[in-house]
Structure formats: structure tokens, C-alpha cells
Amino acid sequence: MSSPAWLSSLPVQPYPFVRLRDTIEDRRSRGLPVYDFSTGDPFEPTPAVVRQALIAGLEDVCRYPSVRGRHETRQAIADWVQTRFGCRLDPDREIIPSSGSKEAIFHTAMAFVPREGRRRTVLYPTPGYPVYAAGACLVGAKPRAYVLREQGGFLPELDRIPGELLDETAVFWLNSPHNPTGAVIDRGLLAELVAAARQHGFLLAADECYADVFFAEPPASVLELGCESVLAFHSLSKRSGMTGYRSGFVAGDARAISRYLALRPNLGVASPDFIQSAAIAAWSDLEHAETRRRLFATKRQLFLRLFADLGWAVCASEATFYLWVKVPPDIDEEALVPRLLERGIVISPGSVFGPAGRGFFRLALVPRQQECEAAVRAWQELYPPARPT
């Protein structure tokens, strides 16, 4: 008996971190230590001000949230954007709260790629977040990767993308600070990308979810160049330790926000009102974001010292809580992940972020400080330092 048509393969690859989860759970079930640096889900507690706001926001009856989200939520977002980036946004026309950023990113191709005609390409970076391509694939668009090269600082290189391809592009994804490399696009390059969007007629979609995880100069936003032809995607997951809350926003071109709002009732609604209460508290508080940056900075320095002692090159890694590390030429790339796993150290091979990630691995600085220190000791047992520590 043949399989029914609805059991045919999905047009996307299995999400890579699902396989890693299975491996991690197997090790934990056997009582073995696990130092999980694979997924960007920090263990630091969600700030008390956020948790208290969530509890205060619980009411006797929890009804459907609105499609647009609460005005108070949009206003808190607008206030944060003005404080953080110096941009004044209309909370009613240029902002829509989202359930984190992943779903909003996934639905972007559905909202903005025409069903017919020449302009059906979605450009996305490799190495990069897998969801950009997945969202394009599942609506029948034409996903097309542009390569972020080490010699180009893992930044978009517009001069390497043909103008004819830009003329066929509906959505151009950029990500800064970048996952997985931690590279940051400066204002000059952002201005070039925004100008290209307006010249060639595509929507510039900027994933800026790590904008508040930095260690030197605060990264810029495309919103600083004006809202025309741009959308910025933000999230409280990384900034405020709210991965499980699923809260973020999309902001930018009022025409694009209106189009997204027209689609949204078919997809769902905004986050529950009690989550939005927590989000208002988070966007309104700057202190906890600075506290979290200091925690990540301490762990970052620990591993920067480790890799310096080993003689392993850390590339880009200017922001985010990731380190992008080049696999040394004398180490078998395929053997590195399983060998580290023997000591309970879980990393993400660069290849899970696309072919251009081969030869690298990503380390997410999410375990607690004490676990990071234990992981460093285990790492040094496997790979003794090239110089005295």
C-alpha cells in the first residue's frame, strides 16, 4: 500500500537543534555531566521585575488577546526604541507585538512574497539562522543564500550580489548582531543596504534580536535610517532572559505593518495579556539588560582566555552571547563535536548554520558561571593549552 500524499517529505530540513536535544537528554538520563553550549537559551533567572509584572497581570478571566496587542505594550516598545536608537515610531502604525521573533520571521515570506511574478526571491545569509530559508521554502518562494565570508568580516557584501538578483528579490534578510558569528553591521553599511532596498524595491528585513547583547559600542538599527522599506525584528528572549515567554515585536514601514496585520488573524493573535504585562516591564527597564551584559561578559572572557591559550582563532564575535571559533587545521572537524561530547561539552558545528559555516563552531555562553568553569577544565583535559595558563 502506497503512502498517502500528505505524508510526503516537508520541503525543509529537520531543525538541527532537535537532534542535539536528543543527544543531550540521553547523556543526562545516564547521570553524566552536560555543559550545553549549543542553544541560545541562558540559565540566568528572568529579572524579578518581569516576573512580578507577569503575576500582577494575571486576571480571573484570561480572554483572547487582540491581534494588534495592547496599546500600552506598543507604547512601551516605542519608548524603548526612542531611548535605545533615537528613533521616534508611531505605536499605532509602525509597531506590532509578536510572540517572540521566530514566528514573525517565519511568517514574513508568507506576508511579503508575491504568489506570482518575477519578484519571488528571498535572500538570506549563510551561515545564518535556519528559519529565514524555512519560511521561504514553505510558501513556495525562491530562497537564495548570500555568503558571509571570513575575509569580509562575516558581513553582507552588496558588491557580490548581482543587481539583477536584487531586482527579483521580495525580502532581503540581514541579521545584526549576527547569529552565529557575532558580527555587527555598522551604520555605514546599514545605510547602503537601506538605500539598495529603496532603489531595487525589496523589503529589508533586519533580525536585530541581539541588539542589547553587546560588549563595546551599542549596535545600530535599520530604524535609524528611517522606516521606508524596512522592518526590524526584536525579542525579549535574549535581552531579558524571556525565551519561554515568547514576546517581541516587529517595527518599521507602516505599509508593511498594515499588511502583516491583515495576515495575522489567520495565524493567531498577540501574546496573552499577562505576557504583555511582563513585556511592558521588560522594555521599560534598562538596568537588568546591563546586568545581563556583565554576566555574559564574564563568561566571554573566560572562554576567550581558553581559546587564546589553545591557539584557536575566535572570529568576529563582537556581540551576542556566542563565540564563533575556527576549527584548527590539525583537528578533524567531524570528530571535534563527538570528542567534546565525551566530556559532556555540547557545541554547535558551524555546518548546521549552512555550508558557509563549515570549518567553524559556535559556542553559546548560556550555562551558569560555575558550569562554564568546569567545562573549561574538561576542555583543557582534552586539548592541553599551547601556552601555560
pLDDT of 58-114, one tens digit each? 999 999 999 999 999 999 999 999 999 999 999 999 999 999 999 999 999 999 999
CA nearest 96: which of 212, 260, 265, 272?
260
pLDDT tens digits, 305-347: 999 999 999 999 999 999 999 999 999 988 999 899 989 999 9
All domains of the chain in start order, with CATH: 5-46+288-382 (3.90.1150.10), 48-285 (3.40.640.10)
Cell reading at 305? 582566555
Q: Name the residue among 207, 234, 267 with its Cα closest to residue 67.
A: 267
CA 170, CA 184: separation in Å to the nearest integer? 24
β-strand pairing of 230-235 with 121-126 = unpaired
Give the pLDDT confidence of 267-310 residue by residue, as tens digits. Answer: 888 899 999 999 999 999 999 999 999 999 999 999 999 999 99
What is the pairing mode between strands 345-346 and 348-349?
unpaired
Count other Cβ atoms within 10 Å, centred on residue 63: 8
Mean pLDDT of the chain: 93
Say if strands 142-147 and 169-175 run parallel, antiparallel, or are unpaired: unpaired
Burial class (CB in 10 A: 0-12, 13-18, 19+), 132: buried
Integer Cα distance of 339 and 335 in angstroms: 6
Cα gap 228→256, rounded to integer Å: 9
CA-CA distance, 39 to 25, in Å (whole number)? Answer: 14
CA distances from 158 to 175, 185, 193 (A): 14, 13, 8
pLDDT in tens, 156-208: 999 999 999 999 999 999 999 999 999 999 999 999 999 999 999 999 999 99
Q: Are strands 322-326 and 35-36 parallel, antiparallel or unpaired?
A: unpaired
What pLDDT score was predicted for residue 49?
Answer: 97
Rounded-to-integer distance, Cα 260 and Cα 263, Å: 5
Cell reading at 230: 524596512
Would you state the cell numbers that stand for residue 261, as one nine-digit string? 496585520
CA distance 6 to 178: 36
Residue 30: pLDDT band with limits 50, 70, 90: confident
Radius of gyration of the chain (CA): 21
